[in-house]
């Protein structure tokens, strides 16, 4: 299943191929320019009721050497089905496009990265008919970004690195560095990378840390009481207060509605679905209080609404 981390990772790969530098360095090749990268269909589905889809497929045409495909999979944990699916992806893409395929697994923790290296074999006794060895981008192969100058120069790599290292003990320091460095960006650029990182960190504890640091990214002078900062915190406080007040009012309305229906039931009156729905849907405390008073003496449940038009009626 494609997660938010998958989505952010692959948007970065598609739009910023400089993130792939560790792969090309390991292969002894020059990193390609963006013009040398072409997004391909990730569909590896056969004409059967079975769907297989690679996260991202890129066609690379280096300045020297032959073209090839990068099949990129974001893997957050070990999964036994990959021993079958990954070799299938490689074989299907090679057959479909007639190009060699490099399978790349992106992993956020070392144990998953160590597992993803493989090899994944199709073996009968001592003979392996097929062997798949993914190239892994993980905590050991993607460098941590430790200086603000690198973030300013290579924001895509810095963002991707933070996602890969999001489960490392030192992630808070990494995120603080990114937040400081992103303050040098123009507002649209800072907002783009800050939001990309927030989405990529979803489902990790680091996401909450980053959400707090984002305030520093979008505020040029954090802690100085600027108009922007005051407006941000005033709006946040107002929203929290309104949320609490709304929650209190809704709770009171539900409690009163429950009392009205309970009193009618105790008095042995028949409560139709229409009456029940109208009472439980009401959020007007004053009206509910009136209905509660009427429930004490009403001869029929419908008497609660004497003299009132049904809500929504002309």
Of the chain, the percentage scoring pLDDT greater than 90 comes to 24
Q: Where are the beta strands (DSSP E) in the chain?
A: 37-40, 56-60, 68-75, 101-107, 120-124, 127-132, 135-137
pLDDT digits (tens, 9 = 90+) for 54-69: 678 888 887 777 889 9
Q: What is the mean pLDDT of residues 58-87?
A: 87
Q: What is the mean pLDDT of residues 180-205?
A: 84
Q: What is the mean pLDDT of residues 207-223?
A: 72
Q: What is the mean pLDDT of residues 102-115?
A: 92
Q: What is the mean pLDDT of residues 134-140?
A: 92
Q: What is the mean pLDDT of residues 187-203?
A: 83
pLDDT class for 312, splitting at 50, 70, 90? very low
pLDDT digits (tens, 9 = 90+) for 13-37: 767 777 777 787 777 777 666 656 6
What is the Cα gyration radius of the chain?
29
CB 102, CB 137: distance < 8 Å = no
């Amino acid at each position: 299943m494609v997660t938010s981390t998958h989505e952010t990772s692959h948007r970065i790969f598609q739009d910023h191929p400089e993130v792939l530098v560790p792969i090309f360095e390991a292969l002894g090749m020059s990193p390609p320019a963006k013009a040398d990268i072409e997004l391909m269909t990730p569909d590896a589905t056969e004409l059967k009721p079975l769907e297989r889809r690679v996260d991202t497929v890129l066609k690379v045409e280096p300045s020297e050497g032959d073209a090839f495909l990068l099949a990129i999979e974001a893997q957050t944990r070990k999964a036994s089905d990959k021993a079958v699916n990954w070799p299938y992806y490689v074989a299907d893409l090679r057959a479909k496009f007639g190009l060699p395929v490099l399978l790349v697994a992106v992993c956020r923790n070392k144990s998953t990265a160590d597992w993803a290296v493989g090899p994944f074999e199709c073996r009968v006794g001592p003979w392996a008919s097929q062997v798949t060895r993914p190239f892994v981008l993980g905590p050991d192969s993607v460098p941590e970004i430790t200086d603000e100058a690198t973030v300013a120069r290579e924001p895509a790599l810095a963002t991707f690195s933070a996602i890969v290292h999001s489960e490392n003990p030192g992630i808070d320091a990494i995120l603080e560095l990114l937040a400081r460095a992103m303050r040098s960006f123009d507002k649209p650029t800072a907002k783009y990378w800050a939001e990309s990182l927030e989405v990529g960190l979803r489902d990790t504890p680091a996401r909450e840390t980053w959400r707090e640091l984002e305030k520093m990214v979008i505020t040029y002078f954090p802690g100085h009481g600027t108009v922007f900062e005051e407006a941000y915190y005033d709006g946040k406080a107002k929203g929290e207060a309104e949320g609490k007040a709304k929650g209190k009012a809704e709770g009171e309305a539900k409690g009163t509605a429950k009392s009205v229906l309970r009193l009618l039931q105790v008095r042995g009156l028949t409560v139709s679905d229409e009456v029940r729905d109208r009472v439980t849907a009401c959020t007007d405390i004053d009206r509910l209080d009136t209905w509660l008073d009427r429930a004490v003496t009403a001869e029929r449940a419908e008497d609660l609404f004497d003299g009132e038009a049904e809500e929504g009626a002309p």
